[in-house]
Amino acid sequence: MSDEGELDLRSLNDEELTQQVHDDLYDGLKEEVEEAVHILLERGWTPYKVLTEALVEGMRIVGIDFRDGILFVPEVLLAANSMKAGMAILRPLLAETGAPRLGKMVIGTVKGDIHDIGKNLVAMMMEGAGFEVINIGINNPVEKYLDAIAEHQPDILGMSALLTTTMPYMKVVIDTLKEKGMRDDYIVLVGGAPLNEEFAKAVGADAYCRDAAVAVETAKDFMKRKHNLLAASA
């Protein structure tokens, strides 16, 4: 049997294997990513370490090249699929081993819009970073957001829109939160390709996030501030 071009992942040391996961994620090679996750776990890596150093870091690199126009939507989707497969292996283990929990997020695409690739990617990267994520899907009217908030009591509300015609709906949701006196109970993050910082400010969101990596960093930042505030007022 010739296995030319086929790499025996087990022959790699930890560092090489991590690098290989990054490459395989980049190339959207789902089976290879799954196998590498299993091998790293066998070698005694904690699920959390596999998640952050192999998967999340790999996906971060994909995100950078997407932003810079080197990768396009199909490649990002394939990479996301591979990461999802890796996370499916890790998720039950993470629950058992008690990985850090940074906070909770409800995320959904706004009413009138059924684009969800970017929103799902953000949900996955947030989960990878240690947030509990409740993904309420697409075409969400304000009632759906309110129901999810009431049920899950998140720290963060995330809204996504890809259409110029649907992005103004974010203001409807935020204004409703204001009317109900709930706006300041939540960190509101917004995103989607046609948005920008100015828009986020105009609708009264806390921040606009250009991509999933920025979303993770921004969410972490706000959580830190929230904890500091709580500590100061305690």
Partner 1 sequence: MTFVNVKPSEEFEFLNGQGHVLLIACGALAREIVDLIETNRWTAFDVACLPAKWHNTPQFIVPAIRDKIREAKGKYKSIFVLYGDCGTGGLLDKLLEEEGVERIPGPHCYAFFSGNDAFKRREDEDMTSFFLTDYLARHFDKLIWAGMGLDRHPELLPMYFGNYRKIVYIAQTRDEELAKRAMAAARRLGLDYEYRFVGYGELADEMKSRA
Which residues are near partner 1 by CB under 8 A?
Answer: 28, 69, 72-75, 77-78, 81, 112, 114, 116-117, 138-139, 162-165, 167, 193-196, 199
Residue among 7 and 114 whose Cβ is closer to partner 1: 114
Which helix (H) or strand (E) element contains residue 147? helix 142-152
Which lies closer to partner 1 via its Cβ, residue 95 or residue 193? 193
Whichever of 93 and 172 has its CB closer to partner 1, that residue is 172
d(CA 107, CA 117): 13
Q: What are the tokens at 10?
A: 């087990």
- Residue 158, SS3 per DSSP: strand
172 to each of 149, 162, 176, 195, 197, how far by Cα in Å?
15, 16, 6, 16, 18
CB nearer to ligand B12: pick between 10 and 67: 67
Backbone angles phi, psi at 204, to 5 degrees: 90, 25
**Which residue from 47, 58, 128, 158 is in contact with ligand B12, where contact means CB under 6 A?**
158
- In the complex, the smallest distance separating the C-beta of residue 101 from ligand B12, rounded to whole angstroms, is 19
Site membership for ligand B12, residue 127 (CB under 6 A): no
What's the token pair of residue 230? 């709580």
The residue within the footprint of ligand B12, chosen from 193, 201, 227, 228 (CB under 6 A), is 193
Tell whether residue 114 is a contact of ligand B12 (CB under 6 A). Answer: yes
Residue type, 101: R
Helix (H, G, I), strand (E, B) or coil at 198: helix
Contact pattern for ligand B12 over residues 44 through 63, marking x by CB under 6 A: -------------------x
Q: Which does 139 bind (CB under 5 to 8 A by kind): partner 1, ligand B12, none?
A: partner 1
Shortest distance (Å) from residue 31 CB to ligand B12: 23
Q: Which of 37, 22, 122, 137 is CA-nearest to residue 79? A: 22
Closest alpha carbon to 7 in 29, 28, 26:
29
> Measured from the CB of residue 168, what is the shortest distance to ligand B12 in angstroms?
11
Cα 88 → chain centroid: 15
Q: Which stretch binds ligand B12 (CB under 6 A): 20-28, 45-53, 168-176, 187-195?
A: 187-195
Backbone torsion region of residue 21, taken as left when φ is above 0, otherwise alpha when ψ lies between -120 and 50, otherwise beta? alpha
Q: What is the CA radius of gyration of the chain?
A: 19
Identify the residue among 113, 127, 155, 206 touching ligand B12 (CB under 6 A): 113
C-beta of 100 vs 194, nearer to partner 1? 194
Q: 45 vs 199, which CB is nearer to ligand B12? A: 199
